[in-house]
Chain A
């Protein structure tokens, strides 16, 4: 049989199935393999909030989108070239994401009358619909093929059927000419306690691969060459994992013990899971009784001289805010990680959003300024949280680190740093009474006080949430002192602008018609859009904010260099309000509040809609 091979620059595959179909695992395996092959990758897992959402229904569909290519990628793609649909509901939920003429790989077993009914398909099998003529439909009964593969093994039927995802994975490996070896190794580790399961899963994976080889329908293969990334050693990493590693690295480089107080919450829990694995780094994870105890215990640990960190998502952060205010008052280091999700209230736990910026900046009682740092991609979360920790330690302040569901669960290749190359982190710890005597709230030129840790003789002192006297830290109700202290605390945070890099232009002209000002996980979509727009001849630049409080010193001037500024946000317009108020520059909002990230196309269209006619 003769197969043809088509060479492509980039491909998007979307795996979709029931929550029980193992689509996350399949997607992750495919991603790892293709990353190891040398492609750049970007992923977007999308799953239901319920652990066991009703089987077969649209609400229970779990999706995993991966884009891989032979050049740098910044988003998981706007449309899928290949859609894997394990049942009718999966197709229904994702069909509009499939490119015209794209490949649809469907498991016909998931399109029986029962599944059609569960997916509300009114008994019309969508696979047979007329519009399918415009697509390359490859429909097979993968369940049956899997059962046949395992017919002469001891594996019970029900168990056997569960490995159909491995069949599909094998098939895709054939389609894209990828080695099965990384997944084979994964199977061997995952099932090391059960040799039968190793054998059966390997068998099904290989059967899928051979099915592609022998079945004429799959004569069409796609070749995506390795990407020309910056030379170096790479690994694949997810945002929550990068956050956890960044914290461990920061603790190690500052010579502090990491204490992580946390209460499980979607989508932040994976940071806790990752950190709990690393007790041999001296990491102390503490699963507290609630969000308040999580932050409070971290404050206790910071007071004791550790690097105190707490994390949550929006609703949990709301519960922590009073205690964060205490940390503002105590002026001790604390890193607060907020992996944002759709809100308000319980909102959309598994969906992404950027609606906690106002909460981060203004969510506490009283005048309670704190620095805010945001990550822009899964791998960049490592550097960003490292930087957040630097600020906390250097300036004796709680820092809010903003991530979101998209960053948390997304994955991409990471050219990881060498430990020795990471910047050193200094703390304000003092180990003896200063020659001029010890005053707990005496400040250095940057208005930062010293960190006197229990156990140090002569530095005994009492702190508290009550307003304190300027130098001694004793309780003070003096009106002038209060006003002074409020201003000092604010100035201390504002001064951090002297110790962060100036805002740069990521891409595009240094001045001109349009600037897109982004923050957080919109980075990839904006970057992709701007690259294309520049190619099409539009004068568009992209600046992306890591520091949301304080802003880089040159931000106001930079905004003035463009005629129009677009601010895309996955909220109802938060950064735009702050920018407009602070710099008196009228900007153009671009809001998306659907729990899903921007596509590059949406950004492009916005630019074109405001671009002056020539």
Chain B
């Protein structure tokens, strides 16, 4: 989202608060904070017009580290608080920072309603597939079988697929990034901010303390080539240094080898973020490669222009004022049926 007035060039440093950052050393949150500060500076919005709202969890400490307006609220409700904030003040640049527990478990209801209403805000969902702050219980995105303190015999809850969930809730901007790819992270944040509507950014974030390495397939040299697929609008879906690609066989996506000469990039699916069906298919690339799955997509799955709640609300107010005139308190108090006692 973006609509606020541009100001003289600011630096990432201008958005750093005086508070000492308290995440564990090596936590993915540090890298994300840096990129958010850089992105907000690059966007060029004045700090006083920016509000960061978070819920509860490690990631939700985020607002304290931003030299903007901010609220570290209560568990799961950042999305709902931000809804009221944006409805009241559509001029503000509103960012929601949340985690997999905060917004997919305790705050799941608010998240889907935020997405369908399409407030012009940005949702940064830090997904580390674990509860960090409460010291290591499984989360709604933890994979089946994971052993944690609260699942000593393995997780038996089927995990959420956050991007598919967002698409299901009719989100108008759905994307995935990872903490260890700062350039792509910042670029996507800027795109999310430019999008008019709720921008859903799932950020894979490593928690070295309780769930170290869950995303290493997508970060480690020698693994990430095979496991990650970067989606770019208008470009064919190729990966692994262009040695592999994705094509549709009927409605079924499959991996094709681009080195044998049988297939070329021209045979591959071309990414189109305005295509809801395609976004649906790509969001379902969720099984592990080892289990016969497909590479994990990163980038923007889907983007659509749809009216924003706060604008529609303002329109109704303008319309009512135009047709009935600005509210006259005396007329309202008097109502339509009066009588006089002498």
A positions within 8 Å CB-CB of B: 32, 35-38, 182, 226-237, 245, 248-249, 252, 257, 259, 261, 278-284, 286, 288-290, 292-293, 296-301, 303-306, 308, 322-323, 326, 330, 416-419, 454-466, 474-475
Contacts and interface: CB of A to CB of B under 8 A. Distances in A.
Given A326-B74, A419-B329, A455-B48, A235 B335 contact: yes
Given A36-B337, A248-B329, A296-B77, A284 B92 contact: no
Contact of B72 (A284, A299, A301, A463): A463
B85 interface: yes
Interface in B64-95: 64, 66-74, 77, 80-89, 91-92
B77 to A, nearest CB: 4
A417 B329 CA distance: 10
Nearest to A456: B48
B46 interface: yes
B337 A284 contact: no
Contacts of B319: 279
Given A232-B340, A248-B329, A278-B332, A299 B84 contact: yes
Given A293-B83, A330-B71, A456-B48, A233 B339 contact: yes
Contact of B110 (A226, A296, A454, A462): A296
B213 interface: no
A457 B84 contact: no
A249 B329 contact: yes
Given A284-B87, A293-B113, A465 B337 contact: no
B251 interface: no
A455 B71 contact: no
A299 B63 CA distance: 17
A226 B316 CA distance: 43
Contact of A304 (B48, B72, B85, B324): B85
Contacts of B74: 296, 322-323, 326, 465
B327 A455 contact: no
B1 to A, nearest CB: 15
B92 A454 contact: yes
Contacts of B339: 35-38, 233-235
Interface of B: 17, 19, 46-49, 51-53, 56, 63-64, 66-74, 77, 80-89, 91-92, 109-110, 113, 313, 316-317, 319-321, 323-327, 329-330, 332-335, 337-342
A454 B51 contact: yes
A231 B341 contact: yes
Contact of A296 (B46, B72, B81, B325): B81
Contact of B84 (A37, A308, A322, A464): A308
B309 to A, nearest CB: 9
Given A289-B109, A293-B80, A299-B81, A464 B341 contact: no
A5 B225 CA distance: 98
Contacts of B321: 279-280, 282
Nearest to A415: B341
A228 to B, nearest CB: 8
B334 to A, nearest CB: 6
Query: Closest 10 A-B residue pairs measured CB to CB?
Result: A297-B84, A464-B72, A300-B84, A281-B327, A296-B80, A300-B85, A279-B320, A293-B80, A300-B81, A301-B88
Given A257-B88, A465-B74, A460 B47 contact: yes
A259 B87 contact: yes
Contacts of A326: 73-74
A293 B109 contact: yes
A189 to B, nearest CB: 9
Nearest to A35: B339
A419 B327 CA distance: 12
A286 B113 CA distance: 12
Nearest to B324: A280
7 contacts: A232-B341, A286-B84, A300-B83, A300-B85, A460-B69, A464-B64, A475-B64
Given A229-B341, A293-B113, A300-B82, A416 B334 contact: yes
Contacts of B19: 462, 474
Contact of B81 (A32, A290, A303): A303
Given A293-B109, A418-B333, A460-B68, 18 more contacts: A38-B341, A233-B339, A248-B327, A259-B87, A279-B321, A281-B327, A286-B83, A293-B77, A293-B83, A296-B77, A299-B84, A300-B88, A308-B88, A323-B74, A455-B92, A460-B47, A462-B17, A474-B64
- Chain A at the B interface: mostly helix, strand, loop or mixed? mixed
Contacts of A457: 46, 48
Contact of A460 (B48, B77, B313): B48
A235 B338 contact: yes
Contact of B77 (A227, A249, A323): A323
Nearest to B340: A233
B67 A460 contact: yes
Given A279-B316, A297-B83, A466-B72, A306 B88 contact: yes
Contact of A464 (B48, B49, B63): B63
Contacts of A230: 341
Contact of B80 (A245, A300, A460): A300
Contacts of B77: 292-293, 296, 323
Contacts of B342: 231
A300 B86 CA distance: 8
Contacts of A237: 335
A297 B325 contact: no
A456 B313 CA distance: 24
Contacts of A279: 316-317, 319-321
A190 to B, nearest CB: 13
A431 to B, nearest CB: 12
A252 B329 CA distance: 8
A457 B49 CA distance: 8
Nearest to B76: A292
Nearest to B53: A300
B66 to A, nearest CB: 8
A234 B327 contact: no
Contacts of A257: 88
Of A231, A292, A300, A303, the most chain B CB neighbours within 10 A belong to A300
A460 B88 CA distance: 18
A305 B88 contact: yes
A280 B328 CA distance: 9
B333 A245 contact: yes
A455 B49 contact: yes
Nearest to B113: A289
A252 to B, nearest CB: 5
A518 B314 CA distance: 43
A418 B328 CA distance: 11
Contacts of A417: 333
B316 A455 contact: no
A286 B51 CA distance: 20
Contacts of A456: 48
A202 B310 CA distance: 44
A182 B85 CA distance: 44
A32 B341 contact: no
Contacts of B48: 454-460
A280 B84 contact: no
A249 B325 CA distance: 17
A422 to B, nearest CB: 8
Given A234-B338, A323-B77, A462-B72, A455 B67 contact: no
A259 B73 contact: no
